[in-house]
Amino acid sequence: MINYKEKLSNIRAFVFDFDGVMTDGSVWTYADGETVRCGNTKDGYALQYAVKRGYTIAVISGARSLSIDHRMASLGVAHCYTGCSNKMETYRRFLSENGLEESQVVCMGDDIPDYEMMAHCGVAACPADAATEIKEISDYVSMFDGGRGCVRDIIEQVLRLQGQWFNPAASIQTDALSW
């Protein structure tokens, strides 16, 4: 069996679920029907940093909310698919449109709707508080819960392994984006 770290050298893209991965799964619903979620700034920093380093990032979520769209746009994530009733169909379209092979993708999910996508990627990863079924098929279970740094954890591992993580000598501007 290949160690998941060996697979990280081939990664060019990340696919994340939103609720339960980029958030702790809590959803606040207001009287007007809009929902609000709470994200993690360290996860946000890693997302925008990976985008600037040339990695392709997608969010594929069953939820539909302007807050998700706005958050991802503010981080430079160009591929944000919300309201997905068939995540696998969206995932296949994402791969095709971006010229990606399954082996080049880390997919991080936390619950049963993410199962099929995670079974068809290079590295399946999940937060520490993911559903049992998801943990069982994951190559890597983060030590961090959803919305508590698991996104940064997997992004940082890939970028470090590929020599793309923080280099004090490099001049990458991060002020323009909110994380």
CA pair distance 114, 165, nearest whole angstrom:
27
The residues spanned by each domain of the chain are 8-161
Which fold, 8-161?
Answer: Rossmann fold (3.40.50)
- Quote the mean pLDDT of the chain: 92
Residue 64 and residue 84 in contact, taking contact as beta carbons nearer than 8 Å: no
pLDDT of the residue at 173: 53
Q: How far is CA 109 from CA 77, 113, 133, 134, 135, in A?
A: 17, 8, 11, 7, 9
Residue 72 and residue 86 in contact, taking contact as beta carbons nearer than 8 Å: no
The helix-helix angle for 150-161 and 41-52 (nearest 10°) equals 30
Residue 72, Ramachandran bin (φ over 0: left; ψ between -120 and 50: alpha; else beta): alpha
> What is the band of 156 on the pLDDT scale with cuts at 50, 70, 90?
very high
pLDDT of the residue at 171: 55
pTM: 0.91
Tell me the mean pLDDT in the region 116-140. 98
Lowest mean pLDDT among 11-20, 66-75, 101-110, 132-141: 66-75
- Is the pLDDT score of 172 beyond 80? no
- Is the pLDDT score of 70 beyond 60? yes
Say which residue, 67 or 135, is predicted with more confidence. 135
